[in-house]
A and B are shown apart, each in its own frame.
Chain A
Amino acid sequence: MGARAVTERARALNAPARAASDRARALRREAAGPLGRRHPALIALAVATLVFLVAPLAVVIPISFSAAKYLTFPPPGWSLQWYERYFGSREWMSATGRSFEVAVLTTLAATAVGTAAALALRRPFRGRSLIRLIVLAPLVVPVIIMAIAIYGLYAQLKMVGTLHGLVLAHTVLALPFVVVIVSATLQGLDETLELAAQNLGANRWQTFRLVTLPLIRPGVVSAALLAFITSFDEVVVAIFVSGTGAATLPKQMWDGIRTEIDPTVAAVSTLLIGVTTLALGLLAVVRRRASEGS
């Protein structure tokens, strides 16, 4: 214990020096740029690519305020008709409520289950890599496969169109994000703090509650926000599993787009873009606070 305390102390004393040299390196990098000045054509291509990424989202927003009866750009005039249609529609309203319900429950489930799994996967044990593989597999298995697989199961169990069915399925999709992000946060955690708490008499739960959780809270909050977006924006599983009477917002949009291109969809899209941007904005704030605090 004595030796560890000494090395810890030394590391702590060394920290400002290390930070200074990091900062110097960053400054040097910025001043020169690795290949001298970048070619204007390169910058132009990068800017064009960024416009390509952002423009479609930026175009949907004005379309949703269009006074036209069909999709056209630029809008011939402005009106709130599509928002009126959206807020006046029982179907759209129930889909909106359903989406929020599913996303909130999914967030709670995925964050709790995923954080627990990340804690357990922290230390090496036999079979860990296999378990990691299973936990992270939903990131790379095509969603259509998960959608029809779960649909097949639910059809047999009469769970198609149920709230809990959708929450259970969305949690599978959100779980890997939570595990990845909380694991990354745990890697940066100083384990000696937990050991110290235990030496001072805290049991495992107290250690988690009073030491570990406060330290990893930014990671857990980020994970929860991403779990929320994952569920709120999810289409493919919802198409199969939400049935006819219990559509989520994206499922309702899917039906709306397939049958007729109704500009109400543009209003709903604007809403979805807003919710996503808001969640990501919150996430950025959480991250910045965390890095300033440490």
Chain B
Amino acid sequence: MTRSRWTTGWLLLPALAWLGILFVYPIGRLFYASVFTPAFSLSSYGKLLGTSVYAKVFANTFEISATVTLLALVLGYPLAFVLATAGPRTSRLMLGAIIVPLWTSVLVRTYAWMVLLGRRGLVNEGLQSLGLLDAPLPLLYNRLGVTIGMVHVLLPFMVLPIYSVMKGIDVDLLKAAQNLGANRRQAFLRVYLPLSLSGLATGCLLVFVTALGFFVTPALLGGRGDMMIAMLIDSQISQLLDWGLGAALAVVLFAITAGILLAVQRFTSAERMWARVP
């Protein structure tokens, strides 16, 4: 065993060096830049806490992420259920319809929503030609647009973990419950739902945490009042060139994300989801 440890240990070196230089070190530099500007000071964090505009951005981020998580759950749980109980052919087709969008560029998917939701987009033109609308609805560059786009992008992160847990539920348990006198509703609520909760929790967590750091979709579909943390980081760095504040924001976002994932001890669930995705 000792011999094999020695001979395989070096296989890790390239990955560790790569991530050390291009992941750990650059993020470490951000931590450093957030407090040394150039002398040690917490002024960036002070500015962050003391400005109401930034508080609004944090509130936006949490509101949007929570809404998106809830909507993705409402749409994703039934879909996962149908997927888990479908025959092999149907489920393969359904999985394709979930996985192709998942791997399609976020930018393409967001652009597609700009096409659909614009003033002359499919939704508005369709509703107007049916006579249901006189003037086009404002669906884009506001909270509604961001929410729709983000639910679309994140839905697979909800469906896939729930589906993979549901796949493992032993259906005989439900039959047993029904044999013991439960009706279908009771069997679902008291047997199936509790058994699928771990997938549900993983899905909600993945969607929420990923939503917190979203950049492309809110930047393109949102309005002035819908700025999220990632967009604020971008504007500090690329427009205002305020590395101190940009770095402080990045550190806070990093801490929130890492804190949630480590606290819930579901880090590995992200891995498990991706292992099953392809």
Contact = CB atoms under 8 A, between A and B. Distances in A.
A30 B171 CA distance: 10
B78 to A, nearest CB: 5
A189 interface: no
Contacts of A149: 23, 26-27, 29-30, 250
B36 interface: no
Contacts, number: 291
Nearest to A253: B107
Interface in B161-211: 169, 171, 174-175, 184, 187-188, 192, 209-210
Contacts of B209: 140
Contacts of B99: 280
A257 B22 contact: no
A148 B192 CA distance: 44
A140 B273 CA distance: 12
A139 B213 CA distance: 12
Interface in A151-209: 151-153, 168-169, 171-172, 175-177, 179-181, 183-184, 204
A17 interface: no
Contacts of A229: 103
A172 B156 CA distance: 23
Contact of B85 (A34, A45, A151): A34
B137 interface: no
Which secondary structure dominates chain B's binding surface?
helix
Contacts of B247: 148
B105 A250 contact: yes
Contact of B271 (A112, A136, A153): A136
* Interface magnitude class on chain A: 35 or more
B248 to A, nearest CB: 12
A142 B213 contact: yes
A15 interface: no
Contacts of B258: 141
B112 A60 contact: yes
B171 A32 contact: yes
Contact of A35 (B16, B98, B152, B174): B174
B35 interface: no
B125 A72 contact: yes
A50 interface: yes
Contact of B24 (A38, A46, A72, A134): A134
B223 to A, nearest CB: 15
13 contacts: A30-B87, A49-B79, A57-B100, A60-B115, A74-B122, A133-B267, A139-B270, A142-B230, A149-B30, A175-B15, A175-B19, A233-B104, A233-B107
Interface of B: 4-5, 7-12, 14-16, 18-19, 22-27, 29-30, 33, 75-76, 78-79, 81-83, 85, 87-88, 94, 96-101, 103-109, 111-116, 118, 120-122, 125, 152, 155-156, 169, 171, 174-175, 184, 187-188, 192, 209-210, 212-213, 215-216, 220, 230, 233-234, 237-238, 243, 246-247, 250, 253-254, 257-258, 261, 267, 270-271, 274-275, 278
